[in-house]
A and B are shown apart, each in its own frame.
Chain A
């Protein structure tokens, strides 16, 4: 076991990790941040996406020890301290961009990564960017719509809520 320290959602946190401890495991089990989910073991579903030093990565495919000294942002750090949802989270609620909620943390973190680098993406760019995030509930319709809306684009012509 080694001690690993990282800044998570702005707070310095540390805990013990084995070589094989994944970042997702460390966040969930050691730090108790269970908002980051694990939906597969082949690095495809994206439920575990977090930001490490500002970049979206799959926390199930990164060793906790690799994050030593890094700044990690998770779903738990997205809303304001008083619980007010950020614009992207709010758009997901406004446009019913989630159902069971399991893929949602990864979707939010991936979408935030997209909008940071491409503030006004096209529909095709949104869909392409979600290549590594699988949702089984929504058929993606309202997820794509919510992300477009969060980017400030008019989504009123997109069929149905």
Chain B
């Protein structure tokens, strides 16, 4: 790694101020950032750890019934503490491995927006609100393509608010080496309709499969989307699967998620 300065503030305000330095970067769980830095693919001048900020930790239920998760809450804590939203807890429980889940955080994952990460599918399918030190961003506006989000430089994802659906499920088909999602599909059924978000498949990063949403909003069953799959244009094609295979998996996993959501 290139060397950098390190700060570990205890308030969001101090973190924002620490991030004011040129090329400073926030350090969440570090489970993606540190390996990236080992490859010397990132060279921040300063890392500002968000792991000492108590106000960014933990899970609570908001007045509107939404599940509010602090940006620095680990995957393990979400898996254990998001019982009110089983689909999301299940998603968190399947990220990486136990040691990665013990360090990696929801905020870190969503800020990075890896095209194969799980949380972007959960947040987008839930219609979550991403709260930063400066504003609130709707999930539909937040994800802007592979590794790209609406966050400005130095902006910290402090909390994520998840409306809790009536039924939900996340199906992840693992890429056999990295164990990231080769394809992951999150299905969330709300009173006013179904949202389906897909990760791992598209070159544009996480996306909503609106065709399936429409079909499932009318009839929430696997049969409603039998034989349905998105087009393979724009799907990722690599060593682990062709675009056509990924598109096919989106259909399969969506059906499985609907069935599992019940």
Contact = CB atoms under 8 A, between A and B. Distances in A.
**Chain A directly contacts chain B within the complex, with at least one CB pair under 8 Å:** yes
Given A20-B1, A43-B35, A65 B96 contact: no
| Closest CB pairs A-B (n = 9) | A132-B97, A131-B97, A19-B6, A20-B1, A19-B4, A55-B102, A58-B99, A41-B38, A61-B34
A61 B31 contact: yes
B49 A43 contact: no
Contacts of B99: 46, 49, 56-58, 110, 113, 132
19 contacts: A19-B4, A19-B6, A19-B47, A20-B2, A20-B3, A41-B35, A41-B39, A43-B31, A43-B100, A56-B98, A57-B99, A57-B103, A58-B99, A61-B30, A63-B30, A63-B49, A66-B8, A66-B51, A133-B97
Given A43-B34, A62-B103, A131-B97, 13 more contacts: A2-B6, A42-B178, A44-B97, A58-B99, A58-B103, A62-B30, A63-B27, A63-B30, A110-B98, A113-B98, A114-B98, A131-B179, A133-B97
B5 interface: yes
Interface string B173-190: 000001100000000000
Contacts of B102: 55-57
Contacts of B8: 65-66, 68
A12 interface: no
Interface string A1-35: 01000000000000000111010000000000000
A68 B52 CA distance: 11
Interface of A: 2, 18-20, 22, 41-44, 46, 49, 55-58, 61-63, 65-66, 68, 110, 113-114, 129, 131-133
Nearest to B30: A61
Nearest to A109: B99
Contacts of A61: 30-31, 34-35, 100, 103
Interface of B: 1-6, 8, 27, 30-31, 34-35, 37-39, 46-47, 49, 51, 76, 96-100, 102-103, 178-179
A55 B75 CA distance: 13
Contacts of B97: 44, 46, 131-133
A119 to B, nearest CB: 16
Contacts of A43: 31, 34-35, 100
A97 B51 CA distance: 36
A42 B98 contact: no
Nearest to B74: A55
Nearest to B37: A20
Contact of B100 (A63, A65, A132): A132
B45 to A, nearest CB: 10
A63 B31 contact: no
A112 to B, nearest CB: 12
A22 B97 CA distance: 20
Given A43-B35, A65-B8, A66-B8, A129 B98 contact: yes
Contact of A132 (B5, B39, B96): B96
A22 B4 CA distance: 13
A29 B102 CA distance: 24
Contacts of A114: 98
B17 to A, nearest CB: 18
Contacts of A133: 97
Nearest to B51: A66
Contact of B6 (A44, A49, A62, A63): A63
A65 B6 contact: yes
Nearest to A59: B99
A62 B30 CA distance: 7
A2 B35 CA distance: 22
A65 B35 CA distance: 17
B6 A132 contact: no
A110 B99 CA distance: 8
Contacts of B4: 19-20
